[in-house]
């Protein structure tokens, strides 16, 4: 197992956002977390990234506890998050944004290789390499945010709502690329409000409701689950 969350509880002051979440991610998988607004999906990712510290529970990555490890050290250990809303640096160029993704690395050859990988996945980023990040379209900014995370050479990529605010045709493009990133060897934990899409593109899924795991199964089974169909697939 690559990552395990066991009974993780994360609070914002008195607000109990995660009430005991248990999740497993195996190497090579795409795992999705689906759920409505405010269910605790983003909180789960931020707890894994070390931005939030849980009150209780265990987070084990490659056999080691990562609770209380600093966020930059967690990145160095191979976990990298693409935050909701992209959060690229608007005034830096595309190239500079990508460079920021590699700021903790010293392996120059590896960085060069990963630049090429990112440009192969997102040719538009090469075309726009000198353009300021903030002047890119929404879809291009999402590509840049994913590309920047890949520049950290993650073993586990955490994606928060990659489809948010994108036109349907672009959403398909982004998800095809997410699948390719996975096929190239990166494990992915994905948060999505678009349950249909997330379940189509993942191996397994968890349904999260008000800070608790309500269902866990293969994505194929969740797509057929009556409860999921009613609550999340609009059927």
The reply to whether 43 sits near ligand ATP by the rule CB under 6 A is: yes
| H/E run at residue 200 | helix 195-200
Tokens of 23: 């999740």
Give first-to-last CA distance, the chain, whole Å.
Answer: 34
Regarding 14 and contact with ligand ATP (CB under 6 A), the answer is no
- Asked if residue 123 lies in contact with residue 115, where contact means CB atoms within 8 angstroms, the answer is no
How would you classify the pairing of strands 30-34 and 204-209? parallel
> Least Å distance between CB 40 and ligand ATP?
4
Q: How far is CA 37 from CA 41, 50, 84, 194, in A?
A: 9, 22, 13, 11
Q: Any contact of residue 37 with ligand ATP (CB under 6 A)?
A: yes
Which phi and psi (to 5°) does residue 206 adopt?
-125, 135
- Of the candidate spans 19-27, 33-41, 91-99, 222-230, the one that interacts with ligand ATP by CB under 6 A turns out to be 33-41
The contact mask relative to ligand ATP for 170-199 (x = CB under 6 A, - = no) is -----------------------x------
Applying CB under 6 A, the span of 12-20, 24-32, 141-149, 195-203 interacting with ligand ATP comes to 12-20
- Residue 153 CB, shortest distance to ligand ATP, in Å, is 26
Please state, in angstroms and rounded to a whole number, the distance separating the CA atoms of residues 74 and 173: 29
Question: Quick one: 102 or 208, whose CB is closer to ligand ATP?
Answer: 208
State which of residues 8, 23, 34, 39 lies at the interface with ligand ATP (CB under 6 A): 39
Residue 135 token pair:
């002047």
Q: Per rule CB under 6 A, is residue 86 in the interface with ligand ATP?
A: no
Q: In angstroms, what is the minimal distance from the CB of 185 to ligand ATP?
A: 27
State the DSSP string of 91-145.
TSBHHHHHHHHTTT---HHHHHHHHHHHHHH-HHHHHTTTSBGGGS-HHHHHHHH
Q: In the bound complex, what is the minimum distance in angstroms from residue 45's beta carbon to ligand ATP?
A: 8
> Which of the ranges 36-44, 120-128, 143-151, 220-228 carries the binding residues for ligand ATP, by CB under 6 A?
36-44
What does the block give as tokens for 182? 């996975």
Q: Which range touches ligand ATP (CB under 6 A), out of 39-47, 117-125, 143-151, 215-223? A: 39-47
Instruction: Please report whether residue 12 would count as binding ligand ATP according to CB under 6 A.
Output: yes
Footprint of ligand ATP on this chain (CB under 6 A)?
12, 15, 17, 35, 37-43, 193
């Amino acid at each position: 197992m690559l990552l395990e969350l066991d009974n993780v509880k994360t609070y914002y002051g008195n607000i109990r956002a995660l009430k005991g979440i248990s999740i497993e991610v195996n190497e090579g998988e795409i795992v999705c977390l689906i759920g409505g607004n405010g269910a605790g999906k983003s909180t789960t990712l931020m707890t894994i990234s070390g931005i939030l510290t849980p009150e209780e529970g265990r987070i084990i990555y490659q056999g080691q506890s990562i609770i209380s490890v600093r966020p930059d050290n967690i990145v160095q250990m191979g976990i990298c998050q693409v935050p909701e809303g992209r959060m690229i640096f608007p005034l830096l160029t595309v190239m500079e944004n990508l460079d920021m993704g590699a700021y903790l690395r010293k392996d120059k050859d590896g960085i060069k290789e990963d630049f090429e990988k990112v440009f192969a996945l997102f040719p538009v980023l090469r075309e726009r390499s000198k353009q300021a990040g903030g002047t890119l379209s929404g879809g291009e900014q999402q590509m840049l945010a994913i590309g920047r995370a890949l520049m950290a050479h993650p073993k586990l990529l955490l994606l928060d709502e990659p489809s948010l605010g994108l036109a349907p045709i672009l959403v398909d493009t982004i998800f095809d690329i997410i699948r390719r990133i996975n096929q190239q060897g990166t494990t992915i934990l994905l948060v999505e409000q678009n349950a249909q899409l997330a379940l189509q593109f993942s191996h397994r899924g968890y349904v999260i409701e008000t800070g608790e795991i309500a269902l866990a199964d293969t994505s194929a089974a969740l797509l057929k689950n009556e409860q999921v169909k009613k609550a999340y697939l609009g059927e």
